[in-house]
């Protein structure tokens, strides 16, 4: 990915200059990955990557296991604005992937970055995708707890059964390391979050996968509390050292989707 001219961005404000810019907690079209979504059942999950289906229509990825219940609609975590609905034709059970149909027909090639509570709309461009190898360092970007980097890939291409009972035949497993701030890779509610590798001096993101399950409970550090985890006032934050994620190449192969990139 070297040589690509990419920069971090702030999401544009709406034409109403008195309005706050779109951000992780309250996104707006064109929808970004790493966004906090109120899933159809009312809980929190994450928007993942922006993709196009075989017909060229925009979708926002999230975890299929988040998509059950309620009226089938996904909303912004704050504000409750409708993002879109479950598309029954755009789902892959083995990849735990759900395509969210977007009435706005717009999804952008960016991922929100930084802490879950950051509100200035800071996001970085997605410039491509890559394969995972044992020893790689990646970042897990679940919306409920924010980005966690220097998470190291421990295993690749392993099968697991998710909490919903569905089997995921191909997942990768990465753990927080001594280089990961606070030693946490994710918090409950980070499902669907994008996993990426930083490229171009960490000004851009290379897609690696989507969070499907978590591993190895640890005591939450003081920095992850009811005020810094987005649903922390609804339930006690539960911190984990490991993340299972379905590699992006597998999802794209199985669904026929195309990653939206800058």
Domain boundaries of the chain, sorted by first residue: 24-109, 115-251
Measured CA to CA in angstroms, residue 144 lies from 79, 132, 187 at distances of: 16, 24, 7
User: pTM for this one?
Assistant: 0.93
Beta bridge partners of 84: 74
What is the CATH number assigned to the segment(s) 24-109?
A: 2.40.10.10
Is there a contact between 47 and 33 (Cβ–Cβ < 8 Å)?
yes
Tokens 């089938």 correspond to what residue? 72
Distance of CA 124 to the CA centre of its chain: 13
Same fold, 24-109 and 115-251: yes
Using one digit for the tens of pLDDT, what is the confidence trace for 136-158?
999 999 999 999 999 999 999 99
pLDDT in tens, the chain (262 residues): 333 333 444 454 333 433 568 999 999 999 999 999 999 999 999 999 999 999 999 999 999 999 988 889 999 999 999 999 999 999 999 999 999 999 999 999 999 999 999 999 999 999 999 999 999 999 999 999 999 999 999 999 999 999 999 999 999 999 999 999 999 999 999 999 999 999 999 999 999 999 999 999 999 999 999 999 999 999 999 999 999 999 999 999 999 999 999 9
So what CATH class is 115-251? mainly beta
Structure tokens at 25: 């907690």
Is there a contact between 244 and 160 (Cβ–Cβ < 8 Å)?
yes
């Amino acid at each position: 990915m070297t040589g690509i001219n990419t920069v971090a961005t702030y999401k544009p404000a709406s034409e109403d200059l008195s309005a706050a810019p779109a951000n992780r907690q309250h996104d707006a079209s064109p929808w970004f990955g790493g966004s906090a979504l109120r899933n159809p059942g009312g809980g929190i999950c994450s928007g993942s990557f922006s993709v196009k289906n075989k017909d060229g229509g925009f979708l926002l990825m999230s975890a299929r296991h988040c998509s059950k219940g309620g009226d089938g609609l996904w909303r912004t975590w704050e504000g409750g604005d409708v993002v879109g609905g479950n598309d029954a034709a755009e789902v892959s059970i083995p990849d735990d992937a759900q395509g969210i149909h977007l009435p706005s027909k717009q999804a952008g090639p960016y991922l929100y970055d930084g802490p879950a509570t950051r509100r200035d709309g800071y996001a970085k461009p997605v410039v491509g995708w890559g394969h995972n190898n044992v020893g790689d360092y990646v970042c897990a970007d679940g919306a409920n707890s924010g980005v966690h980097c220097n998470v190291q890939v421990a295993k690749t291409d392993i099968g697991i059964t998710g909490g919903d009972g569905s089997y995921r035949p191909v997942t990768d497993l990465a753990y927080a390391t001594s280089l990961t701030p606070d030693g946490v890779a994710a918090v409950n509610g980070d499902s669907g979050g994008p996993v990426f590798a930083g490229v171009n001096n960490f000004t851009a993101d290379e897609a690696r996968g989507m969070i499907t399950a978590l591993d190895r409970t640890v005591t939450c550090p003081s920095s992850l509390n009811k005020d810094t985890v987005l649903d922390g006032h609804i339930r006690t934050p539960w911190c984990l050292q490991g993340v299972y994620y379905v590699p992006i190449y597998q999802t794209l192969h199985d669904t026929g989707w195309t990653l939206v990139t800058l």
